[in-house]
Structure formats: C-alpha cells, structure tokens
Amino acid sequence: MTKHGPAQVDQHVGQRLRMRRLALKKSQEWLADGVGLTFQQIQKYEKGTNRVSASRLQQFASLLNVPVSYLFEDNPSNQKTGKLDPDMAVMQRFMGSSHGVAIARAFAKIESPVLRARLVDLIEALT
C-alpha cells in the first residue's frame, strides 16, 4: 500500500485473480468458500485494496488451477519507474471485466480470419 492507494503489483495480482475467476465462470462466493473467506474479502483482494499473502496466493492458484506465477504474469509496471504502461493497464482492466472475458471468448470462436479482421475494423471505427 502506497500513500496514494494500493501498490500497483497488488492491483495487478487482484486483476489476474479476477480475470481467471471470470474465465472459469465462478463467483466471488465460490472463490471465498474455497479458501475460507467472505466474498467481501475476495472483492478487496481483486481490487488490490488488500495484499495477498504467500500462503493465500498458493491457495488461490491451487483452486483456480494455475501456477502462482500466473498471478504475476504480464505485470504492466515499468521496472524502472514503477509506473503502469497505459495500454497494458487498459487491457488488464478490460480482461478483468465480465464483458471483456465474454468478448474474448466469443471472438476466439470465430474461425474466419476475414470476419475477425472486419470485426476489429468495426470496433476501431466505433472508437
């Protein structure tokens, strides 16, 4: 925790935790029950408000069927400045949302590369 809020690595771990939980289509209650917590505590972990201890990281990883390292992968913080890469931060927030996971799942099911490209063009035109 820094003076100005949660540490970036704590937010990153929380976003990865949420992203994996959503990918498995599981609720915060399910995760909380699996590790003996309340869903409110899971919310705090996912927001990065609370830091996750090493033993709790191991519990989460085991329950979510990923290695502990998964929760730290693609950390967008710049090692020199400690600041987030804005593009990576946006992608993490998107993939940490239920809509982001649903869109990624649906997009991955589209077999036609031409259709995928047209969808990307459409989305870019909308933004």
Reported as a pLDDT band with limits 50, 70 and 90, residue 3 is: low
Q: Where are the alpha helices (DSSP H) in 7-127?
A: 8-23, 28-35, 39-47, 54-64, 86-95, 98-109, 113-126
| pTM of the predicted protein model | 0.65
pLDDT at 76 over 70: no
CATH superfamily name and code, 8-96:
lambda repressor-like DNA-binding domains (1.10.260.40)
**89 close to 48: Cβ distance less than 8 angstroms:** no
Q: What does the domain layout of the chain look like in residue ranges?
A: 8-96, 98-127
Average model confidence (pLDDT) for the chain? 84
pLDDT at 77 over 80: no
Give the pLDDT of residue 78.
Answer: 47
